[in-house]
Amino acid sequence: MRERFELRGGGRAAARAHHAATVRLTVARTHDSLRVRAVVVEVTVDRDAALAATGSITIGGKAVAGAPLKLKPAKGRAVAGRPTTLKLKLPAGDLRKLRAAVRAKRRATANVSVNVTPADTPATVEKTTIRQKGA
């Protein structure tokens, strides 16, 4: 006995459903994290998805010893085609360290990683770097 399978939907939508999500991060090249007390990232995705962002701020270059300043993780939901803002906040102790570094004219760079997880496709990770203003 033969079984008959019926395929519905098909076309571009079905082909696109199994590919990774298209992600666009919008950030300023330089950002004033001291004034905002956070690093702000705007995420636009081509389909509904869950967002999770993590990050850290590195003070000085590779030659400078010291642990990076950790940012508090941010989570959110993205609606297809609409920008979603994620704010990675700076803890108070790290805010003082960053302020001292900026006063000493040391370069500070934020490294942000955004994990985009749509319901029907594998997760996508986008990374970006943002320089601190005044450093």
Over residues 45-70, the mean pLDDT reads: 83
pLDDT for 7: 40
Whole-structure pTM value:
0.76
Q: Which domains does the chain have, with CATH numbers?
A: 22-132 (2.60.40.10)
> Is the separation of the CB atoms in 112 and 41 below 8 Å?
yes
Dist CA 109 CA 60 (whole Å)? 8
Over residues 28-37, the mean pLDDT reads: 79
Dist CA 28 CA 124 (whole Å)? 22
Helix (H) or strand (E) holding 14: helix 11-17
> Nearest to residue 45, comparing CAs of 30, 70, 24?
24
Q: Residue 90 burial by CB count (10 A; 0-12/13-18/19+): exposed, middle or buried?
A: buried
Q: Which residues contact 84 (CB under 8 A, 6 or more apart)?
A: 42, 43, 44, 45, 51, 76, 77, 78
**Residue 57: is its pLDDT beyond 50?**
yes
Top pLDDT among 27 and 55 is at: 55
For residue 63, what pLDDT band results from cuts at 50, 70 and 90? low
